[in-house]
Amino acid sequence: MSHEQPRMPQQQQAGDQGQDQDQQMRPQEQQEEEGDQGHGQDPAIKYGDVFDVSGDLASRPVAARDAAMMQSAENTILGQTPAGGIAAVMSSVAGWNEKAGLVGHGAASDIVGREGVTVTETKVPSGRIVTEQVGGQVVGQYVQAQPEQGGDRGGSVEQSAITIGQALEAAGQTAGDKPVERSDAAAILAAEQMATGRNNTIPGGLAAAAQSAAAFNETTLRKEDKIKISQVLLGASEKLGGDRVATRQDALGIENAERWNNPKMEAQPGGVAASVAAAVRINENLKL
């Protein structure tokens, strides 16, 4: 006697198959929906979208209070908020984020709340180097020419070019609390060689001190115990053993040395190469 499996109606079989297919498709559809939602989770304009920054700051939306703090800092140091400057850009972006309902009115980024914003100026012959930072990272650096009044022909202007040593001293002020790294030491060595015309590291010289500082910092855990750029570059003009006016070729060579010795293959914003490049821009404005 044969036993035959009861047959289910075709409509019911089709319905069950459709149900099985639905169950198989749901996880995939759910993943796609979640993926779509993930892409649009936070459309706010962030610091990383506007400035060359990294880490947590890059993922933080630009907020209105951040912009207000930068405007205040610019007014204090520069006497005004430059049109198209860092504060102006931050204010425009923060306004868009706020109007879109992506950032609360009067909100501030947590990193900016902790570390603040800074605008510093480094005096150099015939001008100043202005550096602006948000949350400890450089978001802008530029030069402003300021002719020195002098001469014996009433109202005539006498202007001085910036040397490599003076540019290094400016870097010490701009990136002063940054621990010395291999890329910094390489840039300082390139600067020393260009200033002195020598192809070797001068024993006991500026580059030798920078190399020793970088080696020490690599084996030192606490940041507060590491040797800072300001300590190495203090009085750089005298320590070089020779100096001359910074040129575009110098700036390019120093930047390459800094990049090639950086794992990210990039120059440090507000660092040694950036300071020399800023000095060269002032020199070129003087039409030397």
Check: CB of residue 189 under 8 Å from CB of residue 236.
no
Residues 282 and 179 grouped into a single domain: yes
Residues 118 and 195 grouped into a single domain: no
Residues 221-272 have pLDDT tens digits of 998 999 999 999 999 999 998 999 999 999 999 999 999 999 999 998 889 9
Residues 200-220 have pLDDT tens digits of 999 999 999 999 999 999 999
Which of the four pLDDT bands, split at 50, 70 and 90, describes residue 128? Answer: confident
Residues 80-108 have pLDDT tens digits of 998 889 999 999 999 999 998 888 888 88
> Does residue 12 form part of some domain?
no
> Does residue 169 form part of some domain?
yes
Q: For residue 270, what pLDDT is reported?
A: 86
Say how far apart CA 41 and CA 105 lie, in whole Å: 20
Q: For residue 155, what pLDDT is reported?
A: 41
Picking from 114, 144, 174, the residue at the C-terminal end of a domain is 144
Residues 174 and 137 grouped into a single domain: no
Picking from 96, 116, 144, the residue at the C-terminal end of a domain is 144
Residues 131-182 have pLDDT tens digits of 999 998 889 988 877 655 544 444 444 457 899 999 999 998 888 688 999 9
Residues 178 and 88 grouped into a single domain: no
Residues 102 and 71 grouped into a single domain: yes
Picking from 115, 144, 173, the residue at the C-terminal end of a domain is 144
Mean pLDDT of all residues belonging to the chain = 83
Residues 76 and 119 grouped into a single domain: yes
In total, how many domains does the chain have? 2
Residues 136 and 168 grouped into a single domain: no
> Does residue 93 form part of some domain?
yes
> Does residue 211 form part of some domain?
yes
Residues 106 and 197 grouped into a single domain: no
Q: Residue 75 pLDDT > 60, yes or no?
A: yes
Residues 78 and 174 grouped into a single domain: no
> Does residue 82 form part of some domain?
yes
> Does residue 19 form part of some domain?
no
Which of the four pLDDT bands, split at 50, 70 and 90, describes residue 2? Answer: very low
Structure-model confidence comparison of residues 185 and 156, the more confident one: 185
Residues 100 and 183 grouped into a single domain: no
Expressed as residue numbers, the domain containing 233 is 164-286
Residues 174 and 124 grouped into a single domain: no
> Does residue 79 form part of some domain?
yes
Q: For residue 260, what pLDDT is reported?
A: 96
61-65, 156-160, 188-192, 230-234: the lowest-pLDDT one: 156-160
> Does residue 6 form part of some domain?
no
Q: For residue 226, what pLDDT is reported?
A: 96
16-25, 37-46, 213-222, 239-248: the lowest-pLDDT one: 16-25
